[in-house]
């Protein structure tokens, strides 16, 4: 058995951990977990078995992650729009606790959602999110499921009656989808749409012809597909109305004055966690007057009264969000996070502008997203080659959304500066070869 004790193997049922002079890769650490010598069942001795796994370039040294500013050698730079890249140190922390969370004897994935262990996880996640966004006490935080798309129906069902009017500012595909779904449950009014200009701008707010009696005004704060982001927010004309924002793709990317909104919602899978978690921040006085046809799983009152635990929530996803919230606080909060995001976005947009038209971003400069950067090539026939060559260099998921084409680089919080620097260097090299 001694011959099997290499950096690519471990012994199941062996009470002696295998020494290694080499750092372990992620794939190795996942098998080791936190206690590779605790797999005996009911106190019975098990026969040592050698299990081999394929490892790649080491990424962890002395049990710690490399700096998040550089990235590890065996991980790609993932520019996907969502699910998206997660902070490397968060992944490693989750990996270390995967088998046995903080000595509980079980994984988070095995916990009862009503047990004290998971209650501590979800309560801390909410507390840290409240601290990050400075959420006032008169707002509830809900951890739900179904993605932001489910909220397109939940919002009108909870917030208005069938004859009430809801205004929409449509700056991209997701705002358009929200209107189409809301029409099933209330009256809708599109007070402005950027569709004629291929969704490349945000309107001047004084030009919005809002309904006098609109129950609320809905916006998508950052359009993931088209790369359009609100830098300021409109004021609702109706004094009894309120602002609702889909913040799926720029959630926790910068400070936000929550008090300006009645509801903020978003899927977690872009900036704060894996897919499966939807976060709703809602003013408490807006809860409790849902339409009679509202399904129980879409009723905010049900989830608020049960502290997001009416049924089994996406436990592991909420745990991961909590780790991300911790990480953002450790970085110095959202003002520091915004500074880093602005630096990355400036680097990429400047490279596009300095290419003298070889690369082009169609979005109006004043509303270009810090999170999602769409761009095209002057010679469109080179776009597939650009994407293919970038992938060979370890930069993946740069293909634009199927509805618009071109390329798109999503540079969320967890994308390190090194990833953007590498992309910019590649863009310059590609231009030099093909200009």
Q: What share of the chain is helix, strand, coil (3-state, %, to 5)?
A: 35, 15, 45
The secondary structure element, H or E, covering residue 140 is strand 139-144
Distance in angstroms (rounded) separating the CA atoms of residues 169 and 184: 18
Distance in angstroms (rounded) separating the CA atoms of residues 321 and 161: 33
Angle between helices 116-133 and 315-330 (to 10 degrees): 40
Distance in angstroms (rounded) separating the CA atoms of residues 51 and 247: 45
215, 254, 270, 399: the catalytic one is 270
Catalytic annotation on 101?
Answer: no
Catalytic annotation on 164?
Answer: no
24, 101, 128, 174: the catalytic one is 174
Distance in angstroms (rounded) separating the CA atoms of residues 351 and 369: 15
For 210, list phi and psi in degrees, rounded to 5.
-75, 150
b/e sequence 390-419, b meaning 16+ C-beta within 10 Å: beeebbbbbbbbeebebbbbbbbbbbbbeb
Structure tokens at 177: 């989808």
Whether the CB-CB separation of 154 and 282 falls below 8 Å is answered with no
Pairing of strands 77-78, 49-52: unpaired
The secondary structure element, H or E, covering residue 421 is helix 417-434
Whether the CB-CB separation of 148 and 279 falls below 8 Å is answered with no
246, 299, 304, 327: the catalytic one is 246
As separate numbers, helices (DSSP H) first and strands (DSSP E) second, the chain gives 10, 16
- Catalytic positions are 174, 246, 270
């Amino acid at each position: 058995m001694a011959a099997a004790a290499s950096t690519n193997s471990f012994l199941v049922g062996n009470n002696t951990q295998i020494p290694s002079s080499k750092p372990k890769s992620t794939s190795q650490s996942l098998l080791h977990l936190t206690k590779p010598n605790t797999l005996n069942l009911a106190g019975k001795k098990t026969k040592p078995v050698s299990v081999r796994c394929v490892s790649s370039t080491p990424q962890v040294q002395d049990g710690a992650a490399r700096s998040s500013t550089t990235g590890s050698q065996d991980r790609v730079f993932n520019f996907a729009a969502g699910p998206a890249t997660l902070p490397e140190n968060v992944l490693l922390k989750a990996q270390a606790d995967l088998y046995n969370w903080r000595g509980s004897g079980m994984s988070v994935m095995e916990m009862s959602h009503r047990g004290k262990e998971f209650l501590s996880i979800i309560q801390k996640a909410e507390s840290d999110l409240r601290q990050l966004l400075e959420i006032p006490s008169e707002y509830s935080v809900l951890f739900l499921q179904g993605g932001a798309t489910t909220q397109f129906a939940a919002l009108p069902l909870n917030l208005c009656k069938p004859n009430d009017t809801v205004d929409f500012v449509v700056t991209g595909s997701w705002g358009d989808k929200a209107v189409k779904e809301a029409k099933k449950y209330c009256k809708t009014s599109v007070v402005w749409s950027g569709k004629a200009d291929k969704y490349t701008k945000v309107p001047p707010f004084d030009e919005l012809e809002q309904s006098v009696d609109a129950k609320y005004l809905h916006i998508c704060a950052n359009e993931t597909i088209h790369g359009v982001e609100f830098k300021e927010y409109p004021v609702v004309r109706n004094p009894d109305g309120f602002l609702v924002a889909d913040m799926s793709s720029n959630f926790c990317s910068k400070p936000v004055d929550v008090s300006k909104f009645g509801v903020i919602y978003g899927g977690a899978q872009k900036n704060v966690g894996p897919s499966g978690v939807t976060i709703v921040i809602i003013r408490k006085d807006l809860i409790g007057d849902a339409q009679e046809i509202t399904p129980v799983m879409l009723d905010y009152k049900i989830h608020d009264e049960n502290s997001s635990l009416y049924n089994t929530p996406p436990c592991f996803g909420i745990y991961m969000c909590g780790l991300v919230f911790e990480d953002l606080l450790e970085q110095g909060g959202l003002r520091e996070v915004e500074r880093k995001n602005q630096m990355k976005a400036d680097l990429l947009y400047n490279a596009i502008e300095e290419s003298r038209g070889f690369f082009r971003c169609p979005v109006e400069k004043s509303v270009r997203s810090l999170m999602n950067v769409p761009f095209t090539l002057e010679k469109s026939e080179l776009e597939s080659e650009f994407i293919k060559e970038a992938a060979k260099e370890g930069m993946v998921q740069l293909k634009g959304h199927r509805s618009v084409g071109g390329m798109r680089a999503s540079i969320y919080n967890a994308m390190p500066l090194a990833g953007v620097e590498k992309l910019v260097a590649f863009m310059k090299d590609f231009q030099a070869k093909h200009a």
